[in-house]
Amino acid sequence: MTLDLFGERRDEAIGPGAMILRGFAPGDALLDGVEQVARLSPFRHMLTPGGRQIGVEMTNCGPLGWVSDRRGYRYEAVDPATGSPWPAMPTDFAALAKAAAAQAGFAGFHPDACLVNRYAPGVKMGLHQDRDEAGFDAPIVSVSLGLPATFQFGGTDRKDPIVRHAVAHGDVVVWGGPSRLAWHGILTLKPGEHPQLGRCRINLTFRQAGQR
Ligand code: MD3
Ligand code: FE
């Protein structure tokens, strides 16, 4: 962590291997990339294996994309909605994810998947673990854009205590090592209007999903 002469520590350790890098991402500069990705692979509501619609709208970029349908959760190289490969990961997305991981102590991160989540007010993501990836050695890097939200972050045991952290446009969170399999979620998004994104929050989640 670097000394901040202006009095505000912007890198905040929130657990073993987990860190919030406040304002690390050039939020506005990433919005073009989100728009380009969504033009090729539009946001959509996926189905849970039980057949319910997921409230968060999703798309992906990069070699692999996370999908959910009646057959289960998995990573796919082809977007089932278009029949084409997911859009390429914008070079500034990948560079940002690698720099954030390095800043949090995880050098050598090479994400092959970027899940793009879009939340409207009233939408939440319930507590879960991310375990659809081929391995758990690499960290996960998350970039918040648009409306602010509240993360719920627990431990690797479902019964571990949950703490809440506010995240805003441009904040980056890195979760690795002992926190990689931590339970986490997003509280119901509150109404609001973001200057660039309007009534929505977008989260970019970078992962090493396939075999290295
Ligand atoms: C903590 N997305 O897509 S990202 C997800 O803001 C997901 O859209 C949330 O959880 C969102 O799976 C939160 C932050 C996050 C991602 C992975 C984690 C936190 C994590 C893995 C382990 C611990
Ligand atoms: Fe998750």
- Determine which residue's CA is closest to atom 7 belonging to ligand 1: 185
Strands (E), 33-136: 44-47, 53-61, 65-69, 72-76, 113-119, 125-128
- pLDDT tens column, 80-135: 999 999 999 999 999 999 999 999 999 999 999 999 999 999 999 999 999 999 99
Closest Cα partner for 207 from 130, 149, 104?
Answer: 130
- Taking the centre of ligand 2 as the mean of its atom positions, its distance from the CA of residue 163, in whole angstroms, is 15
- pLDDT tens column, 32-81: 999 999 999 999 999 999 999 999 999 999 999 999 999 999 999 999 99
- Determine which residue's CA is closest to atom 12 belonging to ligand 1: 130
pTM attached to this predicted model:
0.95
Domains annotated for the chain, with CATH where assigned, are: 11-207 (2.60.120.590)
pLDDT at 5: 57
End-to-end CA distance of the chain: 29
pLDDT at 9: 53
AA identity, residue 1: M
- pLDDT tens column, 131-164: 999 999 999 999 999 999 999 999 999 999 999 9
